[in-house]
């Protein structure tokens, strides 16, 4: 019986790992459940006994390949919440190219033509959104981000940077030097800080 070695959680993990590999190699449309089951050394019945189909497998593969990195990034908090935003952005230039990025890009392609899947993807991204929103609100409370700036707009900016990076990285475009990218990111985050009252007074005099 398929459930005996390692239990249901272990078989679920094997299926998700196999799905991540197959989706990355072949893309969503060309990936078949039979190949995913074969890679996991299981049957297609094991897939349909645990997942509704390829859509759920893709979402779970994205979650498995991206959440761990996010957890590690947010585990060691710098001195301020704004510094954490800078660290996350600067990290893009030094991390290895990730399978999770390829999976996420596949998911966006599927979501464009499948409204139902788009809703599922939005739900998955909502988990990440809540984390970023909490970080921004914390930075507003500590005074490192201007409270008059809209949190949702800042979140969208963060997504634009992160997903845009994944897009150009996926086709192998040369990366900027890490120190140069970090300078740009830190300057961008610093621009979100409250305006200096003395500067405003000087400009108006």
Task: Note the pLDDT of residue 162.
Answer: 87
Taking residues 128-148, what's their average pLDDT?
A: 92
**pTM listed for this prediction:** 0.76
Residue 193 three-state SS: coil
Write the CB contacts of 140 (distance below 8 Å, at least 6 apart in sequence).
Answer: 146, 147, 149, 151
Q: Distance (Å, rounded) from C-alpha 105 to C-alpha 196?
A: 40
| CA angle, 155 then 156 then 158, to 5° | 65
Evaluate the CA torsion angle 172, 60, 130, 82 in order and state its sign.
Answer: negative
pLDDT in tens, 26-50: 999 999 999 999 999 999 999 999 9
Task: Note the pLDDT of residue 72.
Answer: 53
- Label residue 69 by pLDDT band (50, 70, 90): low
User: What average pLDDT does the structure give for the chain?
Assistant: 85
Q: What is the phi/psi pair of residue 72, to 5°?
A: -70, -35
Q: Distance (Å, rounded) from C-alpha 125 to C-alpha 70?
A: 12
Residue 197 has pLDDT above 50, yes or no: yes
Q: Distance (Å, rounded) from C-alpha 104 to C-alpha 163?
A: 9
Closest alpha carbon to 68 in 28, 8, 12, 128:
128
pLDDT in tens, 10-29: 999 999 999 999 998 899 99
pLDDT in tens, 149-164: 999 999 999 989 988 9
Structure-token pair, residue 73: 């990034």
Q: Distance (Å, rounded) from C-alpha 174 to C-alpha 180?
A: 13
The kind and range of the H/E element at 49 are none
């Amino acid at each position: 019986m398929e459930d005996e070695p390692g239990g249901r959680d272990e078989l679920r993990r094997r299926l998700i790992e196999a799905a991540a590999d197959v989706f990355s190699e072949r893309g969503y449309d060309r990936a078949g459940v039979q190949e995913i089951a074969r890679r996991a050394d299981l049957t297609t019945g094991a897939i349909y006994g645990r997942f509704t189909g390829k859509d759920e497998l893709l979402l779970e593969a994205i979650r498995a390949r991206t959440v761990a990195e996010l957890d590690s990034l947010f585990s060691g908090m710098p001195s301020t919440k704004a510094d954490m935003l800078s660290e996350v952005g600067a990290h893009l230039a030094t991390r290895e190219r990730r399978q999770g990025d390829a999976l996420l890009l596949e998911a966006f392609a599927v979501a464009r033509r499948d409204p139902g899947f788009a809703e599922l993807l939005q739900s998955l991204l909502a988990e990440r959104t809540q984390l970023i929103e909490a970080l921004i609100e914390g930075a507003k409370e500590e005074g490192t981000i201007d409270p008059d700036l809209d949190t949702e707009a800042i979140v969208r900016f963060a997504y634009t940077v992160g997903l845009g990076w994944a897009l150009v990285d996926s086709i192998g475009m040369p990366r900027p030097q890490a120190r140069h990218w970090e300078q740009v990111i830190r300057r961008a985050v610093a621009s979100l800080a409250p305006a200096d009252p003395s500067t405003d007074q000087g400009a108006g005099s």
